[in-house]
Structure 1
């Protein structure tokens, strides 16, 4: 079959790469995903220099040892690469250097915790980057900086609690941003600044109760579609007033549809149908939050529990979350980090500490009037046996 172009042997029980790949040099698509392939040494695909798409998702060899630095050697024409569901805890940047022309890159459904500024330097031509369902606690603007033509970015399904100002830098080519099914509770006013070409932003199925008024203030000829209604507990009080005022005006360029989950008198109503004067809070004096971490444990022994308190004042009630020395960002009821729990009063409880838990912890609280943070250092003692 010398002219065979589309080959799929996915969802089988292959334990090795099919032999004699040099007889299918005209292949354009090769899908070997979902196989218990035990070895994926370098040079396996060298003869496939016309291959446009390769899917090596859910491969035993990658799950056991990662993607070898020379595993993709010879794939000079590759346009789409899928390396999903392989237990990767970091971006395989060395292997990616062999496929510099790739335009679609999916590393979804892995366990990547951080993005380094050098991770994507060799694949700067990627236009569609899929990082869904990993363990990313924050967006690395430096890691995104190398991209010159990025139009689609999927970060859905990551434990993203907070999107700080300018998280995406000047990603002027980005048109579609997915942040759905994450754990978002706070998006800063300038979080999306720099995204001058964005057409759609998806924040459905998060923990958002309010949005900043300046979040989507752009002068543009085309509209932004903000997908936000589904799966967020929107609370239509004073915190949503600036946002409602910004988007519900004639000629605005933001298209969105938000229905209130509370208070009870507005439950189920469209935010845009509620008069601004009725969006109020039960605060005698509204103020930005303040944070106090006094009373926290200063030290504990490795293997023992630790409790860090975070007393928050301010009105309306602020969202509270902790950043740990390990880079975790944890809010109440977050389940992605077993052994770490932020209680409703803001207290961070660590069930059994490990050596990496030593260092500075930051408690942050935010409402629509501002943010406050305070750090606390935890020392760990190693008990000799």
Structure 2
């Protein structure tokens, strides 16, 4: 279709007004760089949304964004499987914002996530990308005052982000009206569809429009997801970008140690590695707190986070770590889900996980958005079978740790 010179000139002028980010010069892996060469402007998005995307620092769509955005914009259900840190969050936020009509004063999009931290992070990205659109986004999670959420819902909310239990509570009370909600997104869907959450999810869907669109996003899709898909999601478009790319960019090593040698080994790693920021995982709440105390005694600054802490304390730790307030964070598996801190270049499994799924999510905290990362596993005699099994299940190799680790494997 031809346009007049005047129309063409006007389009060029407003495109110039958009502040495009500087190109990222860091080394990136193929799961981010192997694109079709599309641009965000190819999707005919609203000008205000494009401004938010570029100001957020996005330059070009990643592969999962190229696959998911057009399909979600078309209204079809989507099941998307892609590695942690490859842009899944923006892959559903962008089409959801595009389809939100700010002239209508009701909830149109529901975004469900398994943890409070991920809810806060997701709502923050919605607000940043939609800041020129006047989209009203609210976050609601357990552990906060229900009365405050009820008061907030008396005002206009277009996009509701939260954890399933709290959202269902608000919907059952008739406070959150989801009857006109046309899009439901489930991020970290494998966790959301675990036995504890699945009945809640089914009740929530009953509150939404009968012909609502559903998007499921995760790095792993266990059997529970297939069961839910067959029951609730009609003719989904399936995206799988995990083949050969699951752990690309993350170099994995193990150190064979006795339990009593672990802290000494950790101290050695701290002194020899060039750590921007690290997350150190333990298998229990008690061990998280004990290890954080030991690290502090060794003279290193560190925070710790786990599910039994008060929500206000967890929020403070998360934001302080994200803002660079300390170099090291000791965590339980609470922190494995979707938390995106790009400066984390080293993950250490102080305690080796029991399942391949947990291992995948843990080490996916490093090497965010296609950058390089390092995963080091402290392995005891009792862990040896788990190590072998996880290697087999993920089709990967965890190598013995060398005396010196090449910094180019995990540093810019």
Q: Which TM-score bucket, shorter chain as reference?
A: 0.3 to 0.5
Q: Quick check: which has more Rg, 1 or 2? A: 1
Q: TM-score scaled by structure 2?
A: 0.31
Q: TM-score scaled by structure 1?
A: 0.33
- The structure with more strand, counted as a fraction of residues: 1
